[in-house]
Amino acid sequence: MLLEKIIIEGIMPERALSKLQREGICVYHAKKLKKNQILLSVKKKDTEKVFAICPNVCYNMSEEDVSAAHSGPAAEIPKEHSNASKKREPISAYTPYTSKKAGAEGLLAVLDWCKRRIGVFLGGALFVAATLAANNFVFKIEVTGAETYRREVLVALEENGIRTFSLYPKDREEEVAAKILSLKDVSYCSVEKSGMTVKVDVRLSAFSEPSPEEGDMLAKHSGTIVQSAVLRGTPLKNAGDEVEAGETLVGAYLLSESGERTPVTAIARVTLSCVYDEIVAADSEERALAEGYLAIDGEIAEKTCEQTDGGFRVRIVYTVTETINF
């Protein structure tokens, strides 16, 4: 049922209820707000009748009624006098009533609320539609497991039409997985789409041997050699030597007595002592040290931090171990 809230205002507004009922208007949820105000609800189709009646409604009131309107209790609506034989002398007092809408009630209130927020509903509908449409596209590709085959995996995806910013061909998943499984030592592969991301998981056989790293062993850090263990190959640097990043530490060959080189796969491990010594622009010693920690990738042996004009001088001594096929 569609109900409209209306506030009727005037002297003794309770009497307006009787007038509305005599006109065949059903009144719901009548509640007195003030001494001269009543809040009530009527059917939406009766709203215009109420506005036609209330602005010009006048009643002859007795002296007792006028007195009650000004001094009587505001919490209760006076009851109609049941003793019809008791007559009052009317006086010439007019009680004009005015009415105004106070909002909707019930289903009508819900409809009005929805109408006022039509933009929100349209925006939500467009968002849902856009999300559903976007779920059919690929915006990211993740390859986990065997990183050595990442390039081959991406090529297999591309050949089957799976690429970023394109529609996802779900019917090609099995073909992609079969292509990847044909790679050497790959024992498991799964291709699935989660949201807008394609996830490819590649696993190598537990019995497969990784391909050895060919060529000389080059230093990845600058520092002093602390320890060197060469199982195969020719050591070109020894403990205590200073080396720069990129220098050859172990040659991938063996030397005969005559100086002839025989190529081999180098197997070695070298431990270096390295130093990070930089001026770091930071607002505190902790932040400066944090910058230093992020710049290194070894085990810290000692550290110092001194404030300077340009920030903090951070010095960190650390050790790092480099290997080749070890």
Q: What is the pLDDT of residues 170-220, one digit of tens each?
A: 888 888 888 888 888 888 999 998 888 999 999 887 766 667 889 999 999
Q: In this predicted structure, which of 32-36, 231-235, 299-303 has the lowest mean pLDDT?
A: 32-36
Highest-confidence range of 38-52, 65-79, 304-318, by mean pLDDT?
A: 304-318
Considering the domain boundaries, does residue 286 fall inside one? yes
pLDDT higher than threshold 60 for residue 74: no
Which residues span the domain enclosing 13? 2-77+90-113
Residue 102: which of 13, 10, 3, 23 has the closest Cα? 3
- Number of neighbouring beta carbons within 10 Å of residue 100: 11
Pair 160, 258 in one domain: no
Are 178 and 157 within 8 A, CB to CB? no
What is the spatial distance between Cα 50 and Cα 113, in angstroms, rounded to a whole number?
A: 23
Please report where in the chains the tokens 């060197």 appear, as a residue: 228
Averaged pLDDT for residues 293-309: 92
User: Residue 2: its pLDDT value, please?
Assistant: 73
pLDDT higher than threshold 60 for residue 88: no
Considering the domain boundaries, does residue 296 fall inside one? yes
User: Residue 17: its pLDDT value, please?
Assistant: 78
Instruction: Count the alpha carbons within 13 Å of 211 in the hemisphere toward its beta carbon.
Output: 8
Lookup: tokens for 107: 């289903």
Q: What is the mean pLDDT of the chain?
A: 79
Considering the domain boundaries, does residue 194 fall inside one? yes
Pair 200, 223 in one domain: no
Pair 199, 225 in one domain: no
pLDDT higher than threshold 70 for residue 107: no
Q: Which helix (H) or strand (E) holds 201?
A: strand 197-204
Overall number of domains in the chain: 3
Considering the domain boundaries, does residue 233 fall inside one? yes
Pair 243, 216 in one domain: yes
For residue 17, with 0-12 CB atoms within 10 Å meaning exposed, 13-18 middle and 19 or more buried, which class applies? middle
Pair 73, 170 in one domain: no
Considering the domain boundaries, does residue 104 fall inside one? yes
User: Residue 208: its pLDDT value, please?
Assistant: 62
Q: Which helix (H) or strand (E) holds 178?
A: helix 173-181
Considering the domain boundaries, does residue 119 fall inside one? no
Strands ordered across the beta sheet of 2-9:
27-34, 37-43, 2-9, 98-106
User: Of 204, 222, 250, which one is at a domain's C-terminal end?
Assistant: 204
Considering the domain boundaries, does residue 123 fall inside one? no
Pair 255, 237 in one domain: yes
CATH of the domain at 170: 3.10.20.310
Strand ranges in 247-298 using DSSP code E only, listed in sequence order: 248-251, 253-255, 261-263, 267-280
Distances (CA, A) of 187 to 6, 168, 181: 76, 25, 6
pLDDT higher than threshold 80 for residue 233: yes
Considering the domain boundaries, does residue 131 fall inside one? no
- Number of neighbouring beta carbons within 10 Å of residue 125: 10
pLDDT higher than threshold 90 for residue 121: no
Pair 24, 100 in one domain: yes
Helical pair 150-159 and 173-181, crossing angle rounded to 10 deg:
140
pLDDT higher than threshold 70 for residue 114: no
User: Of 64, 98, 113, which one is at a domain's C-terminal end?
Assistant: 113
Note the pLDDT tens digit of each residue in 252-291.
Answer: 999 988 889 999 999 999 999 999 999 999 999 999 999 9
Averaged pLDDT for residues 96-100: 70
**Helix/strand/coil for 112:** helix
Comparing 148 with 197, the larger pLDDT belongs to: 197
**Helix/strand/coil for 137:** strand
CATH of the domain at 41: 3.30.70
Pair 318, 250 in one domain: yes
Pair 224, 185 in one domain: no
Are 265 and 217 within 8 A, CB to CB? no
Pair 223, 251 in one domain: yes
pLDDT higher than threshold 70 for residue 11: yes
User: Of 204, 226, 256, which one is at a domain's C-terminal end?
Assistant: 204
- Number of neighbouring beta carbons within 10 Å of residue 229: 13
pLDDT higher than threshold 60 for residue 31: yes
End-to-end CA distance of the chain: 83
**What confidence category does residue 64 fall into, taking pLDDT thresholds of 50, 70 and 90?**
very low
Pair 150, 183 in one domain: yes
User: Residue 83: its pLDDT value, please?
Assistant: 39
Pair 239, 153 in one domain: no
pLDDT higher than threshold 90 for residue 94: no
